[in-house]
Each structure stands twice: as structure tokens, then as C-alpha cells.
């Protein structure tokens, strides 16, 4: 009986593998038939561990002096809200006339519009122009970003930036999910008012689409302004079939060339037969990889700890803008202004440049910012701190915050199982351990620095 069950499982696995192979082959056929290019020496592959990825079937010679074009996806194959605009940019496939989602144009955020379009195209099945592409996208059961974690998986993230609080509604996971759900509810309301049958536009389907865009899209800011910002608004995500099949590796020598929205990807290093061929999506720490893509990299040379500070008084912000014009470019306090990234000694940069080596883990702007905030606070109390005391005071404040942040994670140790029970937990643990290691190293350095005073 056990052997029969094993044989049955093997047969099911083989059947799924065959179906996956058919889907991948159909994707390549559709892609090339509609103007896409994929180097014939490359194979689209799938495995449960690596998802859809690209492998060289034979050696590819390439160098920085002689890069090799691997893939080209025309703008006409991309998928985004541009497809349902009344007058899309040249090269974009127009769908407004046939899409119910066109009712949402100008009524919901552009990110939500893109997600609803992807939902619609999936619901269309084989009638969708993008059917072959959508058939190869991960399904709900494959999702590994924290928005899909069960409670037992989220335990590994408690106290981290991703899941700061045990109170679900206060966690980063639930805040993002709540934002997406509000977008979905508003879109469904508008569609229903327009007479569209919204029964199949479920919350789970929308969450799937939002996750696809967050994990596989490319930002429009990499294109020429005429293509990327038709409405003079901020950058937005687009899906580029097949280009998104290349997994990420930091350090991979990759060149992107955008010609009126057509995406060309070349490599400037050789690949051997049987090797996976990677894209390079710029340096990414494990927090960004986990929340955006659902995986982490062991001993990630790009890993960092994000520290957020509160909004300073307006007078302090004005001072900071004059002192650090590149860091604080906006006249208004922006979310990005509040976040600073701390680095361990294993970071590929080695840390930040300081006259004092023990401060190498801290961005100089963070020390200067907290110093300015403390100086303002002391002056409000009638106390004037001498300039040479501001740096250690700022470092002490940073150390205090780091210690609280560290304890906020460690307090959940006793509730965790001895080892991760699945891949979601394994990656969450990898992220958690990396955050703790960076904090512990920096805390020791800062304490050593402060012991001098």
C-alpha cells in the first residue's frame, strides 16, 4: 500500500511537471510570436525551489566590451493600467474598448487599476491576450511574501520591521494588506455601480494580483519620461513577460536598455551550459527581498537594518535641508526622510565613512539628524549643549533605540519552535537572524565608543 501511494505521488508529480513544461513552452511560443526575443541558448525552466527561472542550454560568451543580448520584451506585451487608458502611449496594447476595468480609469489609484486589469485578464482565461503569460504566474498557494503567511509563520517576524506588533492591526503586514483591501473595496464599488458583475473579483484574487505586481514588476522610472509619466505623476509598476523570469543575483553583470518602453536585457559576463542566468535588480537587503519577493539570501552582502525616526520640528527640518540637501530634498517631510539604513561589517560597502571607525555602521546623516533634534530639544528647555557633546548624545540615543528594537525581537524567542517548519518560516528566520546580528554588532561598537566619555 505504501509503495502504491508513493507511485501515485510520483505520477502526480510527473503530471504536474509535464503540465508546467507545456505552460512554459506555450509562454515562449506566445512571447516570440508577438515580437519578443529570448536567446535560443536559453531555456525557461521551473522548479519548486527556484520557481520559474532561466538556464543556459549551451555556453554564452559575453563581456563588458561585448555584451550579449539575452531577452527583449516589447512595450506591446507589457501589462499595466496603461492598457486601459483612453489614449495609451504609442506601443502600448489598447484594451479600453473591451475591458470592464476601463470603468475604473480616473476613479481609483493607478496601482489598483493595474491590479484589477490583471484580475480581469486571469478571469478571461484563454480569451486573454496574456493567457500564456498568466498561466505561468505563481498561484495563491505558491505565494511566499508575508501577506500570505499563516499566524504560525508570522511568529518568526514578531518585533521586526515587517511585523512590529503582536496586535495584527498595527503590524506592517496588516497595514499593507489593509491598504490593498481598501483599494479592492473601492474598485469593486465603482465596478458594481457601473453595472459590472463583480462576483468573481474576490479579495483573494485582488491580493494575488497585488502580490504579483509587488514581486515581478518593473518601475516606470527606468523609461524615458514620455513613456513612463503620461500623466505627469509618480512612477508606477509594469509587468514585462519573460523578462521577469530571470531570478535576482547581486553582482550579476546585466545591462538594461529601454527604447521607447521596449525592455532589452543583456549580460556582460559569460554563462556556462547548465548554469542559471540571472538579472540584477540592484542591491537588496533581506527585508526588501522577503516583503517584495518572498525569499531571503543567506549571508546577504546587501543586508541592512532600517531605523525610522519621527518627524522633527519644522525649524529642525529646515536646518537639515540646508545641511544635507541631497538627503532632505523635499520641502515637506517625506516617508523616505524618516528611514535610515544601518550596516554590519559584512555589508558589501563595509559600512559608512567616518573619522571614528566605531561609527561605521551608522549613516552620518542619522547622527547629524538626531544631534539636531536633541540640540533643539535642549534649547527648548533652556539648556545649550556644547557642539562636541552632540555626537555622543546622538549616538547614545541611537543605541537606546537599537537596544529597544533588539529586545522587541528577542522577547518572542520562547514562543518559536526549535527550527522552521516550512520555507516561509525558514526565510523569515533568515531575515530575523540577520537583523539581530547586524544590531548586535553595531550595539557593541556604539557601546565601545560611548565608554570613552
Q: How does residue 140 score in pLDDT terms, banded at 50, 70 and 90? A: very high
Task: Write a three-state SS string for the chain.
Answer: CHHHHHHHHHHHHHHHHHHHHHHHHHHHHHHHHCCCEECCCEEEEEECCCEEEEEECCCECCCCCCCEEEEEECHHHCECHHHHCCCCCCCCCCCCCCCHHHHHCCCCCHHHHHHHHHHHHHHHHHHCCCHHHHHCCCCHHHCCCHHHCCHHHHHHHECCCCECCCCHHHCHHHHHHHHHHHHHHHHHHHHHHCCCCCCCCCHHHHHHHHHHHHHHCEEHHHCCHHHHCCCCCCCCEEECCCHHHCCECCCCCEEEEEECCEEEEEECCCECCCCECCECCCCCCHHHHHHHHCCCCCCCCCCCEEEECCCCCHHHHHHHHHHCCCCCCCCCCCHHHHEEEECCCCCCCCCCCCCCHHHCCCCHHHHHHHHHHHHHHHHHCCCCCCHHHHHHHHHHHHHHHHHHHHHHHHCCHHHCCCCCCCHHHHHHHHHHHHHHHHHHHHHHHHHHHHCCC
Q: How many whole angstroms separate alpha carbon 320 and alpha carbon 52?
A: 46
Grid cell in block for residue 376: 533643539
**Number of residues written out for the chain:** 453
pTM to 2 decimal places: 0.88
Q: What residues form DSSP beta bridges with 305?
A: 342
Q: Which residue has better confidence, 164 or 263?
A: 263
- Closest by alpha carbon to 367, among 395, 339, 386, 388? 395
Give the count of beta carbons closer than 10 Å to the beta carbon of residue 354: 14
pLDDT at 427: 97
Grid cell in block for residue 180: 490593498
Average confidence (pLDDT) over 229-233? 52
Average confidence (pLDDT) over 419-437? 97
- Closest by alpha carbon to 256, among 70, 91, 77? 70
Grid cell in block for residue 303: 543586508
Q: How many whole angstroms separate alpha carbon 387 and alpha carbon 384?
A: 9
pLDDT at 336: 86
pLDDT at 259: 83
- Residue 183's Cβ-side half-sphere holds a number of Cα atoms within 13 Å equal to 21
Domains of the chain by residue range: 2-75+242-282, 79-238, 305-450
Average confidence (pLDDT) over 359-367? 98
- pLDDT tens for residues 3-47? 444 443 433 344 557 888 999 999 999 999 999 999 999 999 999
- Closest by alpha carbon to 240, among 88, 398, 72, 103? 72
- pLDDT tens for residues 155-203? 999 999 998 765 555 566 778 889 999 999 999 999 999 999 999 999 9
Q: How many whole angstroms separate alpha carbon 359 and alpha carbon 452?
A: 13
pLDDT at 13: 41
Q: What residues form DSSP beta bridges with 53?
A: 45
pLDDT at 18: 83
* Cβ atoms of 162 and 173 closer than 8 Å: yes
pLDDT at 383: 85
Q: How many whole angstroms separate alpha carbon 24 and alpha carbon 376?
A: 60
- Closest by alpha carbon to 305, among 425, 168, 446? 446
* CATH code, residues 2-75+242-282: 2.170.270.10
pLDDT at 224: 54
Average confidence (pLDDT) over 377-397? 90
pLDDT at residue 62 tops 90: yes
**Phi and psi of 414, rounded to 5°?**
-70, -20
pLDDT at 166: 55
Grid cell in block for residue 418: 526549535
Q: Which of 62-76, 243-257, 379-393 has the lowest mean pLDDT?
A: 379-393
Q: Which residue has better confidence, 384 or 408?
A: 408
- pLDDT tens for residues 331-355? 999 888 999 999 999 999 999 999 9
Q: Which of 37-41, 139-143, 175-179, 273-277 has the lowest mean pLDDT?
A: 175-179
- pLDDT tens for residues 407-422? 999 999 999 999 999 9
Average confidence (pLDDT) over 94-116? 97
Q: How many whole angstroms separate alpha carbon 342 and alpha carbon 372?
A: 19
Q: Considering the chain, what percentage of its residues have pLDDT values greater than 70?
A: 92
Can you tell me which residue has the cell 539570501?
297
pLDDT at residue 214 tops 50: yes
Q: How many whole angstroms separate alpha carbon 310 and alpha carbon 147?
A: 26
pLDDT at 382: 86
Q: How many whole angstroms separate alpha carbon 449 and alpha carbon 453?
A: 8
Q: How does residue 2 score in pLDDT terms, banded at 50, 70 and 90? A: very low
Amino acid at each position: 500500500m505504501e509503495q502504491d501511494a508513493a507511485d501515485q505521488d510520483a505520477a502526480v508529480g510527473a503530471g504536474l511537471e509535464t503540465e508546467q513544461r507545456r505552460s512554459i513552452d506555450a509562454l515562449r511560443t506566445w512571447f516570440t510570436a508577438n515580437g519578443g526575443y529570448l536567446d535560443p541558448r536559453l531555456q525557461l525552466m521551473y522548479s519548486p525551489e527556484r520557481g520559474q527561472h532561466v538556464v543556459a542550454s549551451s555556453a554564452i560568451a559575453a563581456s563588458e566590451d561585448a555584451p550579449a543580448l539575452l531577452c527583449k520584451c516589447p512595450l506591446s506585451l507589457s501589462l499595466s493600467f496603461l492598457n486601459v487608458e483612453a489614449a495609451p502611449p504609442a506601443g502600448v496594447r489598447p484594451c479600453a474598448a473591451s475591458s470592464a476595468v476601463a470603468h475604473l480609469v480616473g476613479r481609483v489609484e493607478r496601482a489598483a487599476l493595474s491590479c484589477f486589469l490583471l484580475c480581469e485578464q486571469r478571469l478571461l482565461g484563454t480569451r486573454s491576450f496574456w493567457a500564456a503569460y498568466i498561466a505561468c504566474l505563481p498561484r495563491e498557494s505558491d505565494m511566499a511574501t508575508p501577506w500570505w503567511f499563516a499566524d504560525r509563520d508570522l511568529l518568526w517576524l514578531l518585533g521586526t520591521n515587517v511585523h512590529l506588533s503582536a496586535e495584527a492591526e498595527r503590524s506592517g503586514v496588516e497595514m499593507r494588506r489593509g491598504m490593498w483591501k481598501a483599494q479592492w473595496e473601492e474598485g469593486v464599488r465603482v465596478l458594481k455601480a457601473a453595472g459590472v458583475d463583480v462576483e468573481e473579483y474576490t479579495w483573494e484574487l485582488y491580493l494575488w494580483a497585488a502580490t504579483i505586481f509587488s514581486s515581478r514588476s518593473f518601475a516606470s522610472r527606468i523609461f524615458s519620461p514620455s513613456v513612463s509619466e503620461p500623466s505627469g505623476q509618480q512612477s508606477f509598476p509594469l509587468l514585462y513577460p519573460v523578462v521577469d523570469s530571470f531570478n535576482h543575483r547581486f553582482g550579476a553583470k546585466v545591462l538594461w536598455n529601454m527604447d521607447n518602453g521596449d525592455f532589452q536585457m543583456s549580460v556582460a559576463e559569460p554563462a556556462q551550459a547548465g548554469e542559471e542566468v540571472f538579472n540584477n535588480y540592484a542591491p537588496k537587503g533581506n527585508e526588501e527581498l522577503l516583503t517584495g519577493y518572498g525569499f531571503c539570501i543567506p549571508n546577504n552582502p546587501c543586508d541592512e537594518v532600517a531605523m525610522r525616526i519621527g518627524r522633527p520640528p519644522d525649524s529642525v527640518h529646515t536646518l537639515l535641508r540646508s545641511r544635507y540637501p541631497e538627503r532632505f530634498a523635499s520641502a515637506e517631510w517625506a516617508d523616505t526622510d524618516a528611514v535610515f539604513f544601518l550596516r554590519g561589517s559584512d555589508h558589501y560597502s563595509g559600512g559608512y565613512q567616518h573619522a571614528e571607525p566605531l561609527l561605521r555602521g551608522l549613516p552620518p546623516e542619522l547622527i547629524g539628524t538626531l544631534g539636531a533634534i536633541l540640540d533643539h530639544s535642549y534649547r527648548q528647555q533652556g539648556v545649550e549643549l556644547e557642539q562636541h557633546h552632540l555626537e555622543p548624545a546622538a549616538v547614545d540615543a541611537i543605541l537606546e533605540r537599537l537596544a529597544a528594537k533588539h529586545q522587541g525581537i528577542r522577547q518572542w524567542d520562547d514562543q518559536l519552535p526549535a527550527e522552521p517548519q516550512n520555507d516561509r518560516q525558514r526565510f523569515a528566520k533568515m531575515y530575523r537572524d540577520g537583523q539581530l546580528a547586524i544590531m548586535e554588532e553595531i550595539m557593541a561598537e556604539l557601546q565601545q565608543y560611548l565608554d570613552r566619555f
